[in-house]
Amino acid sequence: AQRVTQPEKLLSVFKGAPVELKCNYSYSGSPELFWYVQYSRQRLQLLLRHISRESIKGFTADLNKGETSFHLKKPFAQEEDSAMYYCALSRVHGAGSYQLTFGKGTKLSVIP
């Protein structure tokens, strides 16, 4: 069974401080990992995915298969980063539904 664990329900950091949102996963095959974000009163939206290796809004995430982790990092937090962050995984392309398995989410609060 696939599982995503986000150990922190709430993370508070000061503006300008580094941010790391933790995500660990268990999956028998080769997964695709995502970070989704939900800002206040907005819908869930994709922030980044491991296969694109992009930096979005200053955030990066590296897939560590040895530690089965996909932590989200940003060197300097901004107030507008305050949001709910969800780590998710799906199977790599091939037959199947690509259903997403989500973690419980981490609420990031950036203190001015």
Partner 1 sequence: DTGVSQDPRHKITKRGQNVTFRCDPISEHNRLYWYRQTLGQGPEFLTYFQNEAQLEKSRLLSDRFSAERPKGSFSTLEIQRTEQGDSAMYLCASSLIRTSGDNEQFFGPGTRLTVL
Distance CA 54, CA 60 (A): 7
Q: Are strands 31-38 and 19-21 parallel, antiparallel or unpaired?
A: unpaired
Query: Minimum Å distance from CB 111 to partner 1?
Result: 23
3-state class (DSSP) for residue 49: strand
Distance CA 21, CA 48 (A): 13
Q: Of the listed pieces 12-20, 39-47, 56-64, 65-73, which binds partner 1 according to CB under 8 A?
A: 39-47
Task: Match 């999956």 to its residue by tokens.
Answer: 27
Site string for partner 1, 57-86 (x = CB under 8 A): -----------------------------x
Distance CA 6, CA 102 (A): 9
**Applying CB under 8 A, does 47 fall inside the site for partner 1?**
no
Of 76, 104, 109, 111, the one binding partner 1 (CB under 8 A) is: 104
**Applying CB under 8 A, does 90 fall inside the site for partner 1?**
yes
**Applying CB under 8 A, does 105 fall inside the site for partner 1?**
yes
**Measured from the CB atom, is 15 or 104 closer to partner 1?**
104
Q: Which two tokens stand for residue 50?
A: 């491991």
Query: Minimum Å distance from CB 39 to partner 1?
Result: 12
